[in-house]
């Protein structure tokens, strides 16, 4: 989607102007992974309008292969507006204009499966499943067992406002059970499934080979088979919280593609999230790979005292260590 960010805090009714940028869970992950040096293809549908042109150009500028994006002359590109507040607060507002959009026409009939299965990882989001019956059919098809499919990564991304009929929790649990790698927030598992705590989530989701439970300021826990690994979150001077979950997924996937151990995957997730938390938009500039590897290799004490603020991903960032 094209995203409109407010020029100042406040209700949507009171914000006088908005800055145009790009948004969408999957494209956020794609851009972050490409910025981290991976070969990435984003596959979607946008309109033949100016917003579609902007999305394709902007995502492509991150180094993402956009040759798999289809243009739809009969449907517009989706857009949305949001407030500057944290998504988890009552003051946060989002206005989606996605009904009948080009992306909502994605289906098993309109998507090229050769493109979808060409990579080592296929990353999906629960948001797509909420866009239309056709999108849900596509998501069910992509998470169904089949020979030769790539590792299927699924971010639950429960957005109650998109599930008007209340079916979201059941659908998302079904899709998660078909994936190989699942990302879910502890808070969204509580609200969607009434599951409390990482162990309860794992008990309800034993099927995925890898389950990552994001626990906010407490950190994150990954279940791989019978092994459980937890890593505390970093101390971050937050500018804006939106997009951090997508960035975390990108950092974890980047480390997964590199074959790094579980703890390092979680740390790279935290570092990529910190890059987004310290900027105003949905996408931050990740640290260089060598810098990320250096920080991910810190001992427990050094990791625990590390504090990151705006500008920390620059070549000579200011790291603040607190006693």
Tell me, what DSSP letter sits at residue 210? E
Residue 2: name the closest of 81, 70, 68, 119 by CA.
81
Active-site option among 65, 72, 155, 246: 246
How many Å apart are CA 106 and CA 283, to the nearest integer? 25
Phi, psi torsion values for 220, nearest 5 degrees? -150, 150
How many Å apart are CA 242 and CA 228, to the nearest integer? 28
246 is a catalytic site residue:
yes
Q: What is the helix, strand, coil percentage profile of the chain, to 5?
A: 35, 20, 45
Residue 213, C-beta contacts closer than 8 angstroms, at least 6 positions apart = 184, 185, 186, 189, 198, 201, 202, 220, 221, 222, 223
How many Å apart are CA 6 and CA 85, to the nearest integer? 10
How many Å apart are CA 15 and CA 13, to the nearest integer? 6
Burial class (CB in 10 A: 0-12, 13-18, 19+), 176: buried
Partners of 69 in the β-ladder: none
Residue 167, C-beta contacts closer than 8 angstroms, at least 6 positions apart = none
- By annotation, the residues acting in catalysis are 246
């Amino acid at each position: 989607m094209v995203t409109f960010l407010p020029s100042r805090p406040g209700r949507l009714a009171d914000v006088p102007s908005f800055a145009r940028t790009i948004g969408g869970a999957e494209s956020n992950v794609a851009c972050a992974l490409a910025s981290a040096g991976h070969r990435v293809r984003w596959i979607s549908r946008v309109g033949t309008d100016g917003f579609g042109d902007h999305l394709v150009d902007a995502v492509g500028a991150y180094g993402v292969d956009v040759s798999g994006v289809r243009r739809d002359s009969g449907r517009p590109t989706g857009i949305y507006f949001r407030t500057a507040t944290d998504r988890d607060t009552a003051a946060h507002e989002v206005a989606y204009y996605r009904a009948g959009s080009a992306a909502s026409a994605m289906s098993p009939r309109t998507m090229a499966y050769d493109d979808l299965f060409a990579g080592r990882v296929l990353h999906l989001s629960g948001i797509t499943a909420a866009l239309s019956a056709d999108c849900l059919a596509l998501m069910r098809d992509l998470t169904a067992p089949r020979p030769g499919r790539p590792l299927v990564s699924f971010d639950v991304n429960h957005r109650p406002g998109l599930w008007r009929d209340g079916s979201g929790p059941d659908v998302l649990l079904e899709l998660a059970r078909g994936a190989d790698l699942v990302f879910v927030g502890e808070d969204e598992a509580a609200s969607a499934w009434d599951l409390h705590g990482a162990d309860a989530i794992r008990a309800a989701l034993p099927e995925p080979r890898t389950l990552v439970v994001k626990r906010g300021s407490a950190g994150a826990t990954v279940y791989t088979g019978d092994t459980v690994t937890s890593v505390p979150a970093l101390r971050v001077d937050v500018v804006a919280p939106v997009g951090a979950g997508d960035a975390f997924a990108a950092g974890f996937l980047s480390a997964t593609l590199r074959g790094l151990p579980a703890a390092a995957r979680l740390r790279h997730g935290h570092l990529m999230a910190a890059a987004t938390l310290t900027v105003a938009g949905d996408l931050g500039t990740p640290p260089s790979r060598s810098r990320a590897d250096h920080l991910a290799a810190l001992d427990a004490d050094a990791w625990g005292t590390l504090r990151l603020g705006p500008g920390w991903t620059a070549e000579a960032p200011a790291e603040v260590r607190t006693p």
